[in-house]
Structure 1
Amino acid sequence: MIEAKNIQQLDLNLLKIFECLYREKNMSETAKVLYITPSAVSHAIKRLRTVLNDPLFERQGQLMLPTPACQRMAPELIDLLEKLRQVLQACGDFNLATTAQTFKIALHDAIEPIVLPKLQLALAKHAPNASLASVKLSREDMHKQLANHQIDMAIDVARPIKAPISHAVLSSDHFCVLMKKNHPLKNQLKIDNYLAAKHVAVSNRATGTVIEDIALLQLSFNRQVAIRCQNYFAAKEVIKDAPFLLTLPSMVASQLLDDTLIARPVPTTMPAIYQHLYWHQSTDKDDALVWLRGQVQHIFKR
């Protein structure tokens, strides 16, 4: 049994580091998430080991794996930390008109022009002292960023999730094809010449399947990607001067269309694309973030 005196003198900041290391299972990654040094993480865990009289984590290669005692304790302890955050968030009355907090949203740069201008108008009207930060969407890190409150919410296509991440459908959309106005296929786009044409894809990865190709492969269709761009704005410039096709969500296409481009339906039936809003359950009762989520949902319902 641990002495009560040791528990009373325990620095609660150590528990935040414990929680993060339990999730990350790596000292360096934990340090990055918490913006501290790996030696600070190591020192904190050493102090906890002394108080709790257990190694807590054991190194296996690059991983720090929980001991059986740690594994028994951690889920309940992390749950209590989440409840503590909720209690602290509810402390005091939230005043939208005077709040000076910074709202952080992770989203793809393709939908920034759709979301940010309207959200800025809502802030200017209802929360003039608040600020807004648009963060690059990282699908690999989204769960971690939400859990560690590095971002308040994220907007992304439908993807597998589990508690404690919550989500809500924002919109459904369909794919269309952008091409230059004098493209040879502008009035005769069929599935055979669509597949035979050269395409531009958008992804921040050099290789791998993009979302429209996943949908096409489900239909047993395969196309030729000639160029991969990191964003749709660059892809637009490419197709303005070349006979390439750009397949993309119609919501994004509407932001790119000008007098040099035309949009055509994809010449086959493809599944709808769903945009979702993601957030951490620990913020379910945070008045500020409840308001912000409502504003984002309102933007997509217009």
Structure 2
Amino acid sequence: MHNFNDKVISLARIDLNLFRVFAMIYKERNLTRASEQLFLSQPAVSHALSRLREHFDDPLFIRDGHGVVPSTLAKRLWPQISEALNLIHLALQSTHNFEPERDLKQLTIAMNDEFEPIIFPRIVQWFSKFIPDLQVISVRIDRKNLRHELSSGRIDFAIDVTHTIEKGIAQERCMKDKFVIMCQSQHPILKQGLSKDNYLTSQHITVSTRPTGRVFEDFILSKQGLKRLIRLRCQQYETAIKMLAQSQYLLTISNCQALHLKKHHADIEIRPLPINIEGYEMNLYWDDEKSNEQETIWCKTQLLEIMKELQALLNQNNESGEFITI
């Protein structure tokens, strides 16, 4: 007796490439974006979805605003289809050794704007030693959609401060840093001597792209019951530095950023923070499902080496007590 279930379970009745389309639509929740990721036309993706719908006798994806949402059956199918495609990908990879210059054409890394001038040039210089023609792309990090960005292949890695992550994202610490103060060389606080009290009562500039809410260093201070006097809030550290040059404000900033900015602003001083607060850690993030892929392993190793070199420069500054620009 033949019935609907016979049709569904028979591999001979379905093109396995359709499952690639299913997976990308599931990840992107949008047919246009799915077609872009698959390098197919949108009509081709729509046709593939129609064949899947006919095969499973289910809509699979239902229109919702500007995108689609998976049906109950699609949600049930997804874990097994995702795992099967991953196993096939690994099987195909095992047929040849990964050769960076031959196999790696593009590398996309997400990071914050303020760290891009420090990290991105190092990445480009490092990878050019192995792959001169590699296209390296830096994009702004989107923490809310990080897992989706990584799993869909929109980005390959992310470099960001430590934060809570969703299941499916792998991470490894790549740098640890502290906070310091930047101010103009004639700031009164330098003559008075830095202390917790005159730090807290001085006027401060803070930097954030968000319109409201505490920045990281204020959150850390608040855990000690401390609050400083914020007079200005701007979006860019370059703006804050220019304000320091013409005013008596303090800027609390990561040591790494301070050392980078110092080489362009010789008149601005760097001083240790007079309050014992914890610094911050930077992590490298990637799609956990790709952790065993040769390409991921190789790229991850290179990125960690780049960050290790940067950490060594920071440690050298900390041990010498001098502020050597980076």
TM-score bracket, shorter-length normalisation: 0.7 to 0.9
Deviation at 1:41, TM superposition (A): 7.0
Aligned position for 1:210:
215
Partner of 1:103, secondary structure, is strand
Q: 1:235 aligns with which of 230, 236, 240?
A: 240
Pair 1:83-2:87 in alignment: yes
Aligned equivalent of 2:259 = 254
SS in 1 for 2:160: strand
Q: In the alignment, is residue 137 of structure 1 matched against residue 144 of structure 2?
A: no
Which of 269, 279, 284 does residue 272 from structure 1 map onto? Answer: 279
Deviates more, 1:33-42 or 1:2-11: 33-42
Kindly provide the CA deviation profile for residues 85-141 of structure 1, in whole angstroms up to 9, marking residues without a partner as x.
Answer: 333444433223444511111112322333233333322322223231122222222
Gaps of 5+ in 1: none
Q: Is the 8 A contact 2:180 2:255 kept in 1?
A: yes
CA contact (8 A) 1:90 1:285 kept: no
Equivalent in 179, 183, 188 of residue 179 of structure 1:
183
Q: Which moved more, 1:32-41 or 1:197-206?
A: 32-41
Instruction: Give the counterpart letter for 2:157 in structure 1.
Output: M
Call closer, same or farther: CA 1:43–1:230 in 2, change over 3 Å. Answer: farther
The structural deviation recorded for 1:179 is: 1.0
Partners of 1:227 and 1:90 in 2: how far apart? 56
Q: Which has the larger radius of gyration?
A: 2
* Structure 1 residue matching 2:109: 3-state secondary structure: strand
CA contact (8 A) 1:202 1:232 kept: yes
Q: Could you tell me how far apart the structure 2 residues matched to 1:58 and 1:4 are?
A: 20
CA distance in 1, matches of 2:158, 2:45: 28
Structure-2 separation of matches of 1:22 and 1:175: 42
Tell me the CA shift for residue 154 of structure 1: 0.5
Inter-partner Cα distance in structure 2 for 1:190 and 1:240: 22
**In the alignment, residue 195 of structure 2 is paired with which amino acid?**
K
* AA in 1 matched with 2:301: G
- Taking the aligned partners of 1:287 and 1:38, their CA distance within structure 2 comes to 31
Match of 1:101 among 105, 113, 122: 105
Once structures 1 and 2 are overlaid, which stretch shifts more, 170-179 or 92-101?
A: 92-101
| Matched-pair contact (CA < 8 Å) for 2:109–2:158 | yes
What secondary structure sits across from 2:204 in the alignment?
strand
> Aligned Cα RMSD in Å?
3.0
Q: What does the per-residue CA deviation read over 1:162-194, in whole Å, with 9 as the maximum and x for residues that have no partner?
A: 432111000111111111111121243333332
Unaligned runs of 5+ in 2: 310-326
Whole-angstrom distance in 2 between the partners of 1:241 and 1:39:
59
Residues 228-263 of structure 1: per-residue CA shift (max 9 Å, x gap): 333322222222222222111111111011321111
TM-fit CA distance, 1:268:
1.5
> Relative to structure 1, is the Cα distance of residues 78 and 288 closer, same or farther in structure 2, using a 3 angstrom cutoff?
closer
Matches for 1:39-188 after TM superposition, within 5 Å = 45-57=49-61, 66-99=70-103, 101-187=105-191, 188=193
Per the TM alignment, residue 83 of structure 1 is displaced from its structure 2 partner at its CA by: 2.5
Of stretches 187-196 and 145-154 in structure 1, the one that deviates more from structure 2 is 187-196
**TM-score normalised to structure 2 length:** 0.79
2:195 to 190, 208, 215: 190
Equivalences for residues 216-227 of structure 1 within 5 A: 216-227=221-232
Moved more, 72-81 or 186-195: 186-195
SS class of match (2:210)? coil
Q: Residues 55 and 266 from structure 1, CA distance in 2 versus in 1: closer, same or farther, beyond 3 angstroms?
A: same
Identity, in percent, stands at: 30
Match of 2:270 among 263, 267, 270: 263
CA contact (8 A) 1:57 1:66 kept: yes
User: Quick one: which amino acid aligns to residue 268 of structure 2?
Assistant: L
| AA in 2 matched with 1:220 | G
Q: Under a length normalisation based on structure 1, what TM-score does the superposition of the two structures give?
A: 0.84
Task: Tell me if the contact between 1:176 and 1:250 (Cα under 8 Å) persists in the aligned partners.
Answer: yes
In 1: Cα distance, 2:165 partner to 2:207 partner: 24
